[in-house]
Amino acid sequence: MMDLYPTGVFCAALTPVTANLAPDVPALVQHCRWLLAQGCDGIALLGTTGEASSFSVDERKAILEGVVEQGIPADQLLPGTGCAALSDTVTLTKHAIRLGVAGVVVLPPFYYKEVTVDGLTASYEAVIERVGDARLKVVLYHIPPVAQVPIPVPLIDRLRDRYPDTVVGIKDSGGDFAHMVELVRRFPGLAVLAGADPLMLPLLREGGSGCITATSNLAARELATIYAGWRDPARAAEVEAAQARISEVRALVSHWPQIAALKGATALRTGRPGWALPRPPLMALTETERAELQFALEASAVL
Amino acid sequence: MMDLYPTGVFCAALTPVTANLAPDVPALVQHCRWLLAQGCDGIALLGTTGEASSFSVDERKAILEGVVEQGIPADQLLPGTGCAALSDTVTLTKHAIRLGVAGVVVLPPFYYKEVTVDGLTASYEAVIERVGDARLKVVLYHIPPVAQVPIPVPLIDRLRDRYPDTVVGIKDSGGDFAHMVELVRRFPGLAVLAGADPLMLPLLREGGSGCITATSNLAARELATIYAGWRDPARAAEVEAAQARISEVRALVSHWPQIAALKGATALRTGRPGWALPRPPLMALTETERAELQFALEASAVL
């Protein structure tokens, strides 16, 4: 079996903000510690769930620096560095490598729609060439429901062909399990990570590498249980129970807008009400919604 | 009649780049001069046609500073300052005001899709409050085909209600003429600008204020003719001819991806081949396409 990277459970960590909507680095560091203690293999901070695109390049640099300075191991971090502007993606990727991160998750440039495979190829090539660092490990980020710009298969073909040691993985948040399996089959040597928690287990069984997911902000332990035990027949019952739990928590949270619900749940878990705030254009749950969420989480013993 | 702002013909200017894909400010300044000489009332630089979202905040600041320093009157500039990140929109808007621009065109935050009116309202409010400058004049930017996040009517309602002297206009690039007319009817005192060249004349007749358009990079003179003459029965024939011309040029260019075609045409007009380059993910026309474009432009006597 080839040595894939990244493998395991990565949490697409939420980014807490202060009352002034500035990044709250101490609260994020605490959250990262908790996630690692829950069994996450790493933290994919500053992705869609982390509201990365709602922060400036300087804020994103400060967040990553703060987390590393406060002792979260850089080699367990997998930050998002993809922006609409080529120059921003290059700046953030260079910065992340300099801090010693193991890899970066790179969105396609997402402002223009219906761009060509040639155009996307040119974008990723320009990033890789301008960063020009042998340590660079890129995880492509396929999230068509949000970015509206997909990572088409011919793009992966070209990038794998040209940069087999650099373009090492893909996070597939398209929600289409058949597509994830197709990626595993077509691209041996490419780490395919599920972008939805309940799909990690079936994808592992098809040769996938793990997950980068949002619900793991709340239920990382169950994902870690699945990842540790899925090959072991003796742990089948434990794995199935964890999988059922993951599906339950995800279904519960999906009654509200995802990031607001996960932030609301984290506010309740930590006792820090500030956690509930996203940055506009996302909105916090209303008081009523937060009360409903608390009832639901308590009824399911998530809290 | 109320005093609306902005009024007239604004060109959504292209942004030339160097071989290294850096902004080519001298070439942009030359283009701005030409556009004003052709009769544009102002220049809406760094919009969608200007590939604004493909440049970093620092690059966008440098572009605007360069243009102002090289003598393009700041009060004829209407730069785009809307970004995915609230903090970037605030930074760019403050910077533009400091340089003396008359107004700014502000995209909604465009990364997250299906955001609520509350979330969009909170975004624009946060920008206006954080900029905190009585000189601020905001033109909302409705371009759902690209941003995928629209400016819904209830959002305009709330912003006009709260900031009637600040939120002064809307650029409607939705392509739906009935929607533009609805905006004129619903919001007296709001300048409604057509985002498509052939729609300026019909919109002026319905009470619109002018246009901010892409084809004006090539055919600004005709738009200026229409704007100057549309109320004067003695100039009806001249206006109709200009309108026919605008429609012809736009139809011609629409055989290729718009920005690539306009840049290709500008390369031919100026004799500077570098003009043909966009920044990835957009791509320049191929040699064949450029040759076809040249034939078409010459056949129509645009060149």
Give the ipTM of the model, two decimals please: 0.96
Residue spans of beta strands (DSSP E) within B137-200: 138-142, 167-172, 191-194
CA–chain centroid gap for B90, Å, is: 19
Nearest CA to A256 out of A273, A271, A278, A241 is that of: A278
Of B57, B111, B280, the CB nearest to A146: B111
Backbone angles phi and psi of B134, in degrees to 5: -65, -20
Helix axis angle, A25-37 relative to A57-69, nearest 10°?
50
Nearest CA to B42 out of B69, B1, B5 is that of: B5
Q: Check residue A109 and report its DSSP letter.
A: P
CB contact under 8 A, A54 and B110: no
pLDDT at A1: 47
pLDDT at A302 over 90: no
Of B91, B119, B147, the CB nearest to A282: B119
Q: Provide, as residue numbers in chain B, all residues whose Cβ is less than 8 Å from the Cβ of A111.
A: 48, 53-54, 110, 146-147
pLDDT tens-place string over residues A141-183:
999 999 999 999 999 999 999 999 999 999 999 999 999 999 9
Please, are residues B95 and B129 in contact by the beta-carbon 8 Å criterion?
no
Please, are residues B9 and B220 in contact by the beta-carbon 8 Å criterion?
yes
Residue B87 to chain A, least CA–CA distance (Å): 6
Please, are residues A181 and A170 in contact by the beta-carbon 8 Å criterion?
no
pLDDT tens-place string over residues A247-301:
999 999 999 999 999 999 999 999 999 999 999 999 999 999 999 999 999 999 8
Interface test with B, best of A63, A87, A92, A258 (most B CBs within 10 A): A87
In chain B, which stretches have pLDDT less than 50? 1
pLDDT at A303: 82
Interface test with B, best of A21, A46, A92, A111 (most B CBs within 10 A): A111
pLDDT at A208 over 60: yes
The residues of A whose Cβ lies within 8 A of any Cβ of B are 21, 48, 53-57, 59, 84-88, 91, 108-113, 115-116, 118-120, 122-123, 126, 145-149, 279-283
User: Rounded distance, CA A10 to CA A211, Å?
Assistant: 6
User: Rounded distance, CA A153 to CA A137, Å?
Assistant: 19
pLDDT at A106 over 70: yes
* Residue in A closest to B50 by C-alpha: A112
Nearest CA to A35 out of A63, A67, A7 is that of: A67
Backbone angles phi and psi of B138, in degrees to 5: -105, 130
Nearest CA to A84 out of B88, B201, B5 is that of: B88
CB contact under 8 A, B53 and A21: no
How far CA B106 is from CA of A122, B71, B78, B110, B248, in Å, comes to 28, 24, 10, 11, 30
**Cis-peptide, bond into residue B23, ω within 30° of zero:** no
Task: State if pTM tops 0.90.
Answer: yes
Residue type, A13: A
CB contact under 8 A, B54 and A119: no
Interface test with B, best of A17, A54, A124 (most B CBs within 10 A): A54
CB contact under 8 A, A85 and B54: yes
Helix axis angle, A258-270 relative to A287-299, nearest 10°?
70
Please, are residues B83 and B107 in contact by the beta-carbon 8 Å criterion?
yes
User: Rounded distance, CA A102 to CA A94, Å?
Assistant: 12
CA–chain centroid gap for A211, Å, is: 8
pLDDT tens-place string over residues A236-251:
999 999 999 999 999 9
Residue A66 CB-half CA count within 13 A: 19
User: Rounded distance, CA B70 to CA B114, Å?
Assistant: 41
pLDDT at A2 over 90: no
Please, are residues A197 and A172 in contact by the beta-carbon 8 Å criterion?
no
Of A21, A109, A148, the CB nearest to B54: A109
How far CA A97 is from CA of A4, A12, A133, A138, A280, in Å, comes to 19, 19, 8, 11, 29
State whether residue A298 is helix, strand or coil. Answer: helix
CB contact under 8 A, B86 and A279: yes
pLDDT at A213 over 90: yes
Of B59, B109, B145, the CB nearest to A54: B109
Nearest CA to A13 out of A267, A262, A274, A290 is that of: A262
pLDDT at B1: 47
User: Rounded distance, CA B263 to CA A138, Å?
Assistant: 32
Residue B226 to chain A, least CA–CA distance (Å): 30
Active site residues per annotation of A:
48, 111, 141, 171
CB contact under 8 A, B91 and A21: no
How far CA B267 is from CA of B264, B277, B285, B291, in Å, comes to 5, 9, 11, 12
pLDDT at B3: 83
CB proximity list for B92: less than 8 A, separation 6 or greater: B57, B60, B61, B79, B81, B83, B104
pLDDT at B195: 97
Residue A22 to chain B, least CA–CA distance (Å): 9
Mean pLDDT in chain A?
A: 97
User: Rounded distance, CA B251 to CA B50, Å?
Assistant: 20
Residue A175 CB-half CA count within 13 A: 4
User: Rounded distance, CA A132 to CA B20, Å?
Assistant: 15
State whether residue A104 is helix, strand or coil. Answer: strand
Nearest CA to B220 out of B181, B191, B262 is that of: B262
Residue spans of beta strands (DSSP E) within chain A: 8-11, 42-43, 104-106, 138-142, 167-172, 191-194, 210-213
End-to-end CA distance of chain A: 39
Residue B111 appears among annotated catalytic residues: yes
pLDDT at A27 over 90: yes
pLDDT at A24 over 90: yes
